[in-house]
Chains A and B, each alone.
Chain A
């Protein structure tokens, strides 16, 4: 199962890097979204998959799931949602003000070069 997850995570990272390297702003933001999904899955896998029971202390239960990665992922998901929402709004404003969503045209600034 871990192997399968690793391949999936690698695939997500690949797609994320491909999208982040493209020129369009909206593709880049989708790319960062995929990147954080891959990250969360990786965090889950790193804690070790499996475990039959809920992580509640009771007699006779030894094979329980690790609760910590799930708590971490919950935090990380909330943060990445917030950042993605912010960057989407910012991308919209930038498109309105600068007049393009092409990163190639956003290089440099007028004062310095």
Chain B
């Protein structure tokens, strides 16, 4: 099973290609998509087990020895991320059956999701920096389709901006790869790591590091570069929003974590400090945004920005607790944002508006939804024993160990603001008098609630069962902190 690590990339791709053949048969589309996702998820679990038992897996395509051929590498971090992205996709697709509408389903909605998964999983798995650009383009191209699908006025207006921002950032990505190539003369990430270690700290490498931060920062939504995110993410319907919010920004975050631990470890004083300052500012701006809006979508979207800041802060301190906290929080955030968006989607479907001031009193008729939302909101804010707690605790612990007292206290304080912003939704939407029409039938409500509750259950399990996940997280942390494990795995067959 040497090709095992390609399965989560190739299975969605093959199923998407098959789905293109019969776009009008909605039932068949749904079934085939589900089968494909289940296959991919099963393969990713096998991969997870394999990586746990045998260590980092590397595959050189066409048996061209590294650094000449394209390498695919699956370490614990990427295996975990691939698994969680497939879980999210599974629930979003399940939720879409009742939510997205037949018109969109007939317009290649499911193939676009599967192609996007190909890009996301590919970007998580690739061991070649230019190949990462290609997979980024695959996921971006599918995200362009998803964001514009339906062709409403808002969608068209926002997707134009989304596309232009991403085209410019993709150009910058190629430019940066070009600079990197002129310095080290290779594209293989393991080889770059070795060569850059030989070059040592130098000005040009720092410039490349900052350029990479800008490129991935635009995708991930860090402080000065997140400006496109609130507008563009609010435009598409909720299942697409859930997919984007849970996955797309995390690809940028993963790329920053990967490049900043594997390549740019020579000048930590400058690059990682910059990353830390930006992540703190990201949290500040995210908190302001999350409290400023009365629109449920916008509140949760700004919570994505906060989470990106928290994860990158943990990564920037570069010690064991901080990094482990980052990995914990990264997976937590993928799951919890997915669950939150699905629940928010039900609220919007029931009330027909996303404005908090126009809703109220849902508690009486929809108690299950209310309690489920409350649990997820507590998980988001990090109330023990739910899933946000462990990650944030480790990140703050890492901050204290790295003697970043104020910054760590800041992270703790931001939890309170996150809780406040999430509870505001609860108070406005579920308490008070009943307002507005209830536009949804009982049957449809149950169909929408099932995937959301299951996903919320998974986030709870992730928090409560954290003890069983620690060995996995420790493996991921070890690879991040000690690049030689990664490098040795890639060059294993050569030496």
User: Interface residues, chain A, CB within 8 Å of chain B?
Assistant: 20, 25, 28, 32, 35-36, 38-40, 42-43, 45-48, 68-69, 72, 75-76, 79-80, 82-83, 86-87, 90-91, 93-94, 97-98, 103, 106, 109-112
Whether B39 sits at the interface, judged by CB under 8 Å, is no
From A95, which residue of chain B is reached at the shortest CB distance? B156
Residues of A within 8 A of B174 (CB): 36, 39-40, 42-43, 72, 76
Q: Are B168 and A109 closer than 8 Å at their CB atoms? A: no
Residues of B within 8 A of A90 (CB): 144, 148, 156, 159-160, 163
Which of the 9-residue segments B177-185, B246-254, B274-282, B370-378 touches chain A? B177-185
Query: When chains A and B are docked, how far (Å) is the Cα of A98 from the Cα of B293?
Result: 26
Given contacts A46-B182, A75-B134, contact A93 B167 (CB under 8 A): no
Residues of B within 8 A of A75 (CB): 130, 134
Q: Are B163 and A86 closer than 8 Å at their CB atoms? A: yes
Q: Are B154 and A109 closer than 8 Å at their CB atoms? A: yes
Q: Smallest CB–CB gap between B207 and chain A, Å?
A: 13
Given contacts A43-B178, A47-B181, contact A83 B163 (CB under 8 A): yes
Query: When chains A and B are docked, how far (Å) is the Cα of A25 from the Cα of B478?
Result: 48
Q: Are A93 and B157 closer than 8 Å at their CB atoms? A: no
Which of B137, B153, B235, B298 makes the CB contact (< 8 A) with A98?
B153
Query: When chains A and B are docked, how far (Å) is the Cα of A3 from the Cα of B235?
Result: 45
Excluding A35-B168, A83-B144, 18 further A-B contacts by CB distance (< 8 Å) are: A32-B167, A36-B171, A36-B174, A39-B171, A46-B182, A79-B134, A86-B141, A86-B163, A87-B167, A90-B163, A97-B151, A106-B160, A109-B157, A109-B231, A109-B235, A111-B154, A111-B295, A112-B298
Residues of A within 8 A of B137 (CB): 79, 83
Q: Are A42 and B178 closer than 8 Å at their CB atoms? A: yes
Residues of A within 8 A of B168 (CB): 20, 32, 35
From A105, which residue of chain B is reached at the shortest CB distance? B157
Binary CB contact string for chain B from 158 to 174 against chain A (1 if under 8 A, 0 otherwise): 11110110011011001
Residues of B within 8 A of A47 (CB): 178, 181-182
Q: Smallest CB–CB gap between A92 and chain B, Å?
A: 10
Residues of B within 8 A of A111 (CB): 154, 295, 354-355
Query: When chains A and B are docked, how far (Å) is the Cα of A42 from the Cα of B134?
Result: 18
Pairs A-B, 8 closest by C-beta atoms: A46-B178, A46-B182, A43-B178, A94-B156, A106-B157, A39-B171, A32-B167, A39-B174
Whether B386 sits at the interface, judged by CB under 8 Å, is no
User: Interface residues, chain B, CB within 8 Å of chain A?
Assistant: 130, 133-134, 137, 140-141, 144, 148, 151, 153-154, 156-161, 163-164, 167-168, 170-171, 174-175, 177-179, 181-182, 187, 231, 234-235, 293, 295, 298, 354-355
Given contacts A43-B178, A82-B141, contact A93 B151 (CB under 8 A): yes
What are 28 A-B contacts defined by CB distance under 8 Å? A32-B167, A32-B171, A35-B168, A38-B171, A39-B171, A39-B174, A39-B178, A42-B178, A43-B174, A43-B181, A45-B178, A46-B178, A46-B179, A46-B182, A76-B174, A83-B141, A83-B163, A83-B170, A86-B144, A86-B163, A90-B160, A94-B157, A97-B153, A98-B156, A106-B157, A111-B154, A111-B354, A112-B295
Query: When chains A and B are docked, how far (Å) is the Cα of A72 from the Cα of B180?
Result: 13
Residues of A within 8 A of B158 (CB): 109
Query: When chains A and B are docked, how far (Å) is the Cα of A25 from the Cα of B157?
Result: 11
Query: When chains A and B are docked, how far (Å) is the Cα of A69 from the Cα of B151?
Result: 38
Query: When chains A and B are docked, how far (Å) is the Cα of A47 from the Cα of B160?
Result: 33
From B294, which residue of chain A is reached at the shortest CB distance? A112
Residues of A within 8 A of B235 (CB): 109
Residues of A within 8 A of B130 (CB): 72, 75
Query: When chains A and B are docked, how far (Å) is the Cα of A25 from the Cα of B164?
Result: 10
From B298, which residue of chain A is reached at the shortest CB distance? A112
Residues of B within 8 A of A38 (CB): 171
From B152, which residue of chain A is reached at the shortest CB distance? A97
Q: Are A39 and B175 closer than 8 Å at their CB atoms? A: yes
Given contacts A35-B171, A97-B151, A111-B354, contact A20 B178 (CB under 8 A): no
Q: Are A68 and B295 closer than 8 Å at their CB atoms? A: no
B153, B231, B235: most-surrounded residue (chain A CB, <10 A): B153
Residues of B within 8 A of A106 (CB): 157, 160-161
Query: When chains A and B are docked, how far (Å) is the Cα of A68 from the Cα of B187?
Result: 10
Residues of B within 8 A of A93 (CB): 151, 156
Residues of A within 8 A of B133 (CB): 76
Which of B144, B160, B231 makes the CB contact (< 8 A) with A91?
B160
Residues of A within 8 A of B144 (CB): 83, 86, 90
Q: Smallest CB–CB gap between A77 and chain B, Å?
A: 10
Query: When chains A and B are docked, how far (Å) is the Cα of A54 from the Cα of B132?
Result: 28
Q: Smallest CB–CB gap between B172 and chain A, Å?
A: 8
Q: Smallest CB–CB gap between A11 and chain B, Å?
A: 15
Query: When chains A and B are docked, how far (Å) is the Cα of A80 from the Cα of B231?
Result: 24
Q: Are B175 and A42 closer than 8 Å at their CB atoms? A: yes
Given contacts A39-B175, A112-B298, contact A32 B157 (CB under 8 A): no
From B173, which residue of chain A is reached at the shortest CB distance? A39
Query: When chains A and B are docked, how far (Å) is the Cα of A86 from the Cα of B141?
Result: 9
Q: Are A87 and B179 closer than 8 Å at their CB atoms? A: no
B148, B154, B164, B295: most-surrounded residue (chain A CB, <10 A): B164
From B158, which residue of chain A is reached at the shortest CB distance? A109
Q: Smallest CB–CB gap between B136 and chain A, Å?
A: 10
Query: When chains A and B are docked, how far (Å) is the Cα of A20 from the Cα of B164?
Result: 9
Given contacts A46-B182, A82-B141, A86-B144, contact A32 B164 (CB under 8 A): yes
Q: Smallest CB–CB gap between A37 and chain B, Å?
A: 10
